[in-house]
Amino acid sequence: MRGFLERHLTSDGFEVVASDDPLELEGTRVAPDVVLLGDLSALERLRADCPVIVLGAPGSDSNDRLRAFERGCDDYLPRPFDYAELVARIHAVLRRVSRPVPTEQLRVRELLVDLATRQVTIGGAPVRLPAKEYELLVKLASDARRVFTKQELLRDVWDFRAPARTRTLDSHASRLRKRLATAGGRGFVVNVWGVGYRLVDESPRKRSSLGD
């Protein structure tokens, strides 16, 4: 399968780097635009800053798909699959992550999200986030005190078009909270039980100034 994809994707204009272990790409100069994984266990070990498409094992079911999304993949395609559909999904993922963003920043207390560069900092210290955790953060930071329902977040961040019983959102929210806390950001990503999530409990403190 890997040889087939390497030949055909190369013929279709992609620059392909094949590896037995995707972790070999981390820490190198190779910066993939998208990763295709055929092993779900590798997804747990891979902390990719780029989109990941999982090619599910033959005979996989909806539970495998949900587990893949919970572990951070951006798309899932079970085998056997149509090659043309795979290429279409690759292009769709690449379009999604390369959408032009406004040259503005979202600031909530010590948290700063630069939309143009996709950089996140806590008190000036950089925080590295996988693609889906970053998108979730941007959504929550767009209105920091608002409670976004789980249905809204699954729809807007993961493109879920129908209600689904999945731990995808909760898993990503938990990891995002821990990453921000590790960087020194406390009290971010608040779980509102039975409803959804908001970024903070209170609005950022406003600076006061002396009048004339």
pLDDT of residue 166: 81
Same domain, 93 and 110: no
Q: Is the pLDDT of residue 205 over 50?
A: no
Closest to 144 in 3D by CA, of 200, 204, 207: 200
Same domain, 55 and 120: no
pTM for this entry = 0.54
Query: What average pLDDT does range 153-179 have in this prediction?
Result: 85
Same domain, 89 and 113: no
Same domain, 8 and 77: yes
Same domain, 79 and 142: no
Domains in the chain: how many in total?
Answer: 2
- Choose one of 44, 68, 97: the last residue of a domain: 97
Give the structural domain span for 194. Answer: 105-198
Report the C-alpha gap between 79 and 60 in whole angstroms.
8
The larger pLDDT score, comparing residue 21 to residue 85, is at 85
169 touches 111 (CB < 8 A): no
| Phi, psi for 147 (deg, rounded to 5) | -90, 115
β-sheet with 111-114: strand ranges across: 105-108, 111-114, 119-122, 125-127
Q: Is the pLDDT of residue 181 over 90?
A: yes
Q: What is the CATH number of the domain that holds 117?
A: 1.10.10.10
Same domain, 190 and 162: yes
In terms of Cβ atoms closer than 10 Å to its own Cβ (0-12, 13-18, 19+), residue 60 is middle
pLDDT of residue 18: 83
pLDDT of residue 206: 41
pLDDT of residue 99: 56
Same domain, 86 and 110: no
Report the C-alpha gap between 121 and 116 in whole angstroms.
14
